[in-house]
Amino acid sequence: MTNDSLSDATITREQFREAMGLFPGAVTLITAGEGAARRGLTATAVCSLTDSPPSLLVCVNAGTETCAAIRETGKFSVQLLSDEAEGLALHFAGAKGARGAEKFREGAWETCGSGLPRLGSALASIACEVTSDSLNGSHRVFIGKITDVRLAPERGALVYARSRFHALAAE
Ligand SMILES: Cc1cc2nc3c(=O)[nH]c(=O)nc-3n(C[C@H](O)[C@H](O)[C@H](O)COP(=O)(O)O)c2cc1C
C-alpha cells in the first residue's frame, strides 16, 4: 500500500460515526465485579466469535470503570436487553447521572454461579472468562470464553440504529 492509498483510506471521525450508526446493534449491558465493586455499561459492540470453544468478543472504552473492573477480575457478563429496557440502557450509559455500583439500583439484578451480576429480565445472560485483552485506539477488545448461559427469549430484543432505540419483535 502506498502512502497515497493510506491517506485515501483515512476518513473523519464524523464519517466513521455516520457509517457505524447505520449498523443496527443489539443493545446489551456488559457487567463485571461483585457487590459494591460491580460496574456496568451499555454496549452494542458485542459479537459472536466461535463455538469452539464457545466465545464472544466485546469492545469496551478503555477509560471506563467497567473496563477497569473486567481487567481486575478477568471476568465479565453480557446481558441482552429486551424491547422494554430502553430506560435501563440509557441509565447504564450514564444518561441519568448514575455512576459505579449505583447503576445496579435499577433493574432486577441477581448473581450467577461465577459471582457475576445477572439481569433477571435479560433475553440472554452470558458469563465469560477473559482469554484475550488488547488495546486498539480508545477501546480494549476482550475475548471471553463462555462459562454460563441463561436464556429467556420470550420478549423481543432492543436494537440501536440511526441514533435511536428500536424494538425487534420476538416472532
Ligand atoms: C446505544 C449505546 C451503545 C454503546 N456501546 C458501547 C460499546 O459498545 N462500548 C463502550 O465502551 N461504550 C459503549 N457505549 C457508551 C457507554 O455505555 C458509556 O460510556 C458508559 O457511561 C460508560 O460507563 P462507566 O464509565 O460507568 O463504565 C454505548 C452507549 C450507548 C447509548
Report which ligand 1 atom has the smallest distance to the Cα of 65: 27
pLDDT in tens, 94-146: 998 999 999 999 999 999 888 999 999 999 999 999 999 999 999 999 999 99
Q: One-letter amino acid identity for 109?
A: W
Residue 8 contacts residue 142 (beta carbons within 8 Å): no
Number of domains comprising the chain: 1
79 in contact with ligand 1, CB cutoff 6 A: no
Report which ligand 1 atom has the smallest distance to the Cα of 67: 27
* CA–CA dist 21, 26 (Å, integer): 12
Q: pLDDT at residue 5 above 70?
A: no
160 in contact with ligand 1, CB cutoff 6 A: yes
Enter the pTM of the model: 0.94
Q: How many CB atoms lie within 10 A of CB 169?
A: 8
**44, 103, 159: which to mutate for ligand 1, most atoms within 8 A of CB?**
44
Residue nearest to atom 7 of ligand 1 (CA): 43
* CA–CA dist 31, 112 (Å, integer): 12
Q: Identify the domain containing residue 28 by its residue range.
A: 3-168
Average pLDDT, the chain: 94
What CATH number does the domain containing 69 carry? 2.30.110.10
Report which ligand 1 atom has the smallest distance to the Cα of 61: 11
Q: pLDDT at residue 2 above 70?
A: no
Q: How far is the CA of 41 from the centre of ligand 1 (A)?
A: 5
Strand order in the sheet with 157-161: 25-26, 157-161, 164-168
Helix (H, G, I), strand (E, B) or coil at 163: coil
Helix (H, G, I), strand (E, B) or coil at 148: strand
